[in-house]
Chains A and B, each alone.
Chain A
Amino acid sequence: DGGITQSPKYLFRKEGQNVTLSCEQNLNHDAMYWYRQDPGQGLRLIYYSQIVNDFQKGDIAEGYSVSREKKESFPLTVTSAQKNPTAFYLCASSIRPRGFYNEQFFGPGTRLTVL
């Protein structure tokens, strides 16, 4: 079955630690995205990637980093510089990059809690 997987579903982190959230897709999509969701707010874009080895900052990139070494994978690292990392993180992908709209398909999300 084609889709987007995120792991782990729940993640706990101690203050000062970096953690990496996994996002994999087998839809052969070119573009991938990371969003953060907080209570009472909509989704906010952290980073996006339109092609392998290229990525762009979204609205709230500070304290986060990403890589795109393979088309199907777009891991997100939450660094110790992120002051308030407790949130729900959603990964998405779409078939075409910049300049065209195509539907974004979402993964099931990862809930990150800082202890």
Chain B
Amino acid sequence: DVVMTQSPLSLPVTLGQPASISCRSSQSLVLSDGNTYLNWFQQRPGQSPRRLIYRVSNRDSGVPDRFSGSGSGTDFTLKISRVEAEDVGVYYCMQGSHWPSTFGGGTTVEIK
């Protein structure tokens, strides 16, 4: 299975400040068709995961533009330009390029 490694495990952030989460895969997520199936999910306390970003950098409908995704190959990043209180929760990267799809271990974003 492709192992997804996220860092940091915990990310205390001051309101209004930026945040960045790293996700690395144990093998390239680029497929022969050129697509890279790397998604980012947010899981607020007590809620189901919600997809924020698909195929590395595409924001889902309704996702604030302070969220952005970037990266390529095996190295990916989720950035929040200015953290708001509603952004508290656990963030997961997930690769869908190789079955079984696998998730990173999660990064907990909390307010300082």
> Does B associate with A?
no
